[in-house]
Amino acid sequence: MKTAPALAAIRLVLLTSFSQRGHGQEAQQAGIAAYLTKPLHPSQLHDCLVLVLGTPEGTPATSLITHHSVVDAQAQLRTRVLVAEDNIVNQKVAVRMLEKLGCRVDVAANGLEAVQAVAHITYDVVFMDCQMPEMDGYAATATIRAREAQTHGHLPIMAMTANAMQGDREKCLAAGMDGYVSKPVKEAQLLAMLQKWATPSTSGLNTRHRTSAARGMRP
């Protein structure tokens, strides 16, 4: 196929049930763009094709796309979320829900840790508990917003609070937060916030999970 002028531009993906050392190198020398071993999950095949088609036509491949490079690409495309929460049970519940939605999740135990985390890692969304030791969510958000005044960035921050009193939402928004969810938090609430605030071009949200989780976050 690669020697036929009419077929040479076609990009080839090799799917094999049997792989040995050296086969990948042979595949690349033959002009194959991607080399994947079966069984293969449909999402991996999809992301492999995205990588293959993302290379401009006529550009020689510098490296063979393999299972490992597809997995790495999938990790990069996943929405990265920070959960700032001091309650360990709440942390675990939130992480479980968000990972089910396809997110990469980090945890900060208080507002100070959250401020330090966002200074070193680029997150798509932060879920910020309002009441935490060391530094509460309001102060942490104010610190992040003050820093953004210099960088001209804006990190979406969603408040999480056990209080459902009138005026709490306005207090969160006045502190610089973008959204508000009350505890016990449900999966559907998290998904709604992610779909609204996560950057569409980088979000890898699993939108099939639209039902509320059976468990919520404790106050």
* Average pLDDT value over all residues in the chain: 81
- Give the orientation angle of helix 111-120 with respect to helix 137-151, to 10 degrees: 20
d(CA 97, CA 92): 9
pLDDT band with cut points at 50, 70 and 90 for residue 219: very low
Q: What is the predicted pLDDT for the residue at 106?
A: 95
Sign, CA dihedral 48-53-59-60, equals positive
Quick one: average pLDDT of 63-88?
A: 78
Residue 77 DSSP SS3: helix
Looking at residue 213, its pLDDT comes to: 36
Task: Please compute, for residue 96, the number of CA atoms within 13 A of its CA located in the half-sphere on the CB side.
Answer: 14
Nearest-angstrom CA–CA distance, 132 and 182: 15
Interval 151-207: pLDDT, tens? 999 999 999 987 656 677 788 888 999 998 888 888 888 988 988 888 644 445 554
Question: Which residue has better confidence, 101 or 86?
Answer: 86
List CB contacts of 126: < 8 A, sequence separation 6 or more. Answer: 81, 82, 83, 84, 114, 118, 155, 156, 157, 158
Q: Domain map of the chain by residue range? A: 13-75, 78-197
**Is the whole-model pTM more than 0.75?**
no
For the segment 80-85, the average pLDDT, to the nearest whole number, is 95
Q: What is the pLDDT of residues 89-101, one digit of tens each?
A: 999 999 999 988 8
Which residue(s) pair with 82 in the sheet? 106, 126
Domain 78-197, architecture per CATH: 3-Layer(aba) Sandwich (3.40)
Q: Give the pLDDT of residue 58.
A: 55
- Report which DSSP code applies to 17: S
